[in-house]
Amino acid sequence: MLLDRSRLPVVFIRTEANAETPINDQIEALLEERRPFVLVTDHAPDDHDDDTQEERKERALFFKKIKDRMRAYCRGMIVIDGGRPMSPAIKIAAVTAGKAFGFAIVFATDEEEAERKGRSLIGSRDDAWLL
């Protein structure tokens, strides 16, 4: 996976791309910049159903480690759903995950809509104290 930072502060998680740097290291580097950002992904909250118990444990420990910084700098996550109807269970899972992470999870039809929503989320909070 690759963090596509070409449209900062909107950052796309590219699942079809392989990166030389592990995704956790890429996220850490983004957080080290101490700047607000929005994550955009095209995979649903239930896409990790096939992960092993060990993979789930590692991911949970990583997110626990970065939780405070994510709450400080991540303004939200946008899931590109391609206009496909999302089941109520997936939407509930997204709301629950958003509460756990401390930021909103919203849905968009395509990348353009996701970028518009992402820039709106960035502008919706007073970030002057971060400068």
Residues in the chain: 131
Give the three-class secondary structure for 118: helix
d(CA 50, CA 69): 28
Is the entire prediction scored with pTM above 0.75? yes
pLDDT digits (tens, 9 = 90+) for 44-61: 555 556 778 998 899 889
How high is the pLDDT of residue 127? 46
Angle at 123 between CA 23 and CA 73, to 5 degrees: 35
How high is the pLDDT of residue 48? 57
φ/ψ (deg, to 5) at 74: -85, 120
Amino acid at 123: G
How high is the pLDDT of residue 130? 37
pLDDT digits (tens, 9 = 90+) for 12-26: 999 877 788 999 999
